Amino acid sequence: MSKILIFGHQSPDTDAITSAISFSYLQNQLGKVTEPVALGEATDETQFALDYFKADNPRVVTSVADEADEVMLVDHNEAQQSVSDIDKVDVLAVVDHHRIANFQTSNPLYYRAEPVGCTNTIILKLFKEHNIEIPENIAGLMLSAIISDTLLLKSPTCTKEDEDAARELADIAGVDLESYGKDLLKAGTNTSDKSADQILNADAKNFPMGDYNVRIGQVNVVDVQEVLDRKDELLSEMDKQSQENSYDLFLLVITNVLESDSVALVFGDDRQKVADAFDKDIIEDTLLLEGVVSRKKQVVPVLTKALS
Ligand code: MN
Ligand code: MN
């Protein structure tokens, strides 16, 4: 019998990688033979968590059907975010906190979806439901995912359940939530060794809005100015990529993870429409977005409404 592989989405974030690890541990305790794998390299932030809690980096795979018949998905369900040959394997289980779209299976499966801020908040419940104790280091990884997905409990996606889960996991892991949380978020904010392309696209998605094709990237920092110092370089890269990919508007949301504010660098002929959407003025190519940290909840809906 081949191992069951467990993985999160492509371009994995901390939740994608650590929920594969924590869910695999739980499944193995329950008698399954599973291995957590990843659909991409760990980010600096995820690597910090893995090092801190002395966990192994999951093996990176680009296909699974050559080595496994069965898989379990965490932190995603949509086929285009999953492994390239997902249609060739049996999906036994999904644990996720996203919308369900472009997902189908030929066999019955275990599916657990809850509208919380992080997959590991759901996995904590699963540990409790099965009466399985969580080892210190796994608790630390799960905590790291909640901190990452909720920006230390400050994102509007964060629920009371995420907060309670974070405090409980911090206790088990033996770390101080606030100080570990800040260290973890800071670890993912180094932009000095990144190219303009990496800063723009490491976490970027396309959104069709009315007649507009809008590209929105987001980068977490502790010093917004460090990115704005490279504004000319970033704008010329946005110009180039907009021509190549037919983007009508390109936004880079630069989020200060300690202050919970953002500044958006805005490129495109109709960028005044972006400014109008937020009822702000563009000053030196940027919009000040006070209190904005979530692209999903605070940027996309505002722009979609204005451009559609
Ligand atoms: Mn994720
Ligand atoms: Mn997540």
DSSP string for 4-50: EEEE--SS--HHHHHHHHHHHHHHHHTT--EEEEESSPPPHHHHHHH
Same domain, 86 and 171: yes
Same domain, 182 and 209: no
Q: pLDDT band for position 11 (50/70/90)?
A: confident
Instruction: Supply the pLDDT for residue 48.
Output: 97
φ, ψ (nearest 5 deg) of residue 265: -90, 125
Same domain, 141 and 290: no
- How far is ligand 1, taken at its centre, from the CA of residue 16, in Å? 5
- DSSP three-state, residue 249: strand
- How far is ligand 2, taken at its centre, from the CA of residue 192, in Å? 26
Tens of pLDDT, residue by residue over 125-140, are: 999 999 999 999 999 9
- DSSP three-state, residue 286: strand
How many other CB atoms sit within 10 Å of the CB of residue 128? 11
Q: Is the pLDDT of residue 283 over 70?
A: yes
Structure tokens at 29: 């305790």
Tens of pLDDT, residue by residue over 26-76, are: 999 999 999 999 999 999 999 999 999 999 999 999 999 999 999 999 999
Dist. CA 187–CA 189, nearest whole Å: 6
Residue count (the chain): 308
Of all ligands present, the nearest one to the C-alpha of 116 is 2
Tens of pLDDT, residue by residue over 100-114, are: 988 999 999 999 999
Of all ligands present, the nearest one to the C-alpha of 119 is 2
Tens of pLDDT, residue by residue over 252-272, are: 999 999 899 999 999 999 999
Q: pLDDT band for position 2 (50/70/90)?
A: confident
Instruction: Supply the pLDDT for residue 45.
Output: 94
Indicate the residue among 136, 152, 187 that finishes a domain.
187
Residue recorded with tokens 């110092």? 229
- How far is ligand 2, taken at its centre, from the CA of residue 150, in Å? 9
- How far is ligand 1, taken at its centre, from the CA of residue 152, in Å? 15
Residue recorded with tokens 């907009």? 242
Whole-prediction pTM: 0.87
Q: Is the pLDDT of residue 99 over 90?
A: no
Q: Is the pLDDT of residue 203 over 90?
A: no
> Which residue, 97, 68, 62, 109, is CA-closest to 82?
62
Structure tokens at 41: 């390299």
| CATH number for 51 | 3.90.1640.10
- How far is ligand 2, taken at its centre, from the CA of residue 1, in Å? 30
Beta strands 249-256 and 59-60, pairing class: unpaired
Same domain, 178 and 231: no
- How far is ligand 2, taken at its centre, from the CA of residue 63, in Å? 22
For every residue of 51-103, DSSP letters joined together read HHTT-PPPEE-S--TTT-SEEEEES---GGGS-TTGGGSEEEEEEE-S---S-
Beta strands 110-113 and 34-38, pairing class: unpaired
Q: Is the pLDDT of residue 1 over 80?
A: no
Same domain, 33 and 112: yes
Residues measured by CB to lie within 5 Å of ligand 2, the ion: 15, 75, 119, 149
For every residue of 151-171, DSSP letters joined together read TTTTSTT--HHHHHHHHHHHH
Of all ligands present, the nearest one to the C-alpha of 38 is 1
The parent domain of residue 79 ranges over 4-187
Indicate the residue among 167, 187, 207 that finishes a domain.
187
Same domain, 181 and 242: no
- How far is ligand 2, taken at its centre, from the CA of residue 31, in Å? 26
Same domain, 134 and 204: no
Which residue type sits at 140?
Answer: G
Instruction: Supply the pLDDT for residue 30.
Output: 98
Of all ligands present, the nearest one to the C-alpha of 146 is 2
Same domain, 29 and 157: yes
Same domain, 24 and 144: yes
> Which residue, 284, 304, 305, 204, is CA-closest to 251?
204
If you average pLDDT over residues 147-152, what whole number do you get?
Answer: 95
- Total of domains in the chain: 2
Arithmetic mean of pLDDT over the chain: 95
| CATH number for 246 | 3.10.310.20
Indicate the residue among 187, 213, 243 that finishes a domain.
187
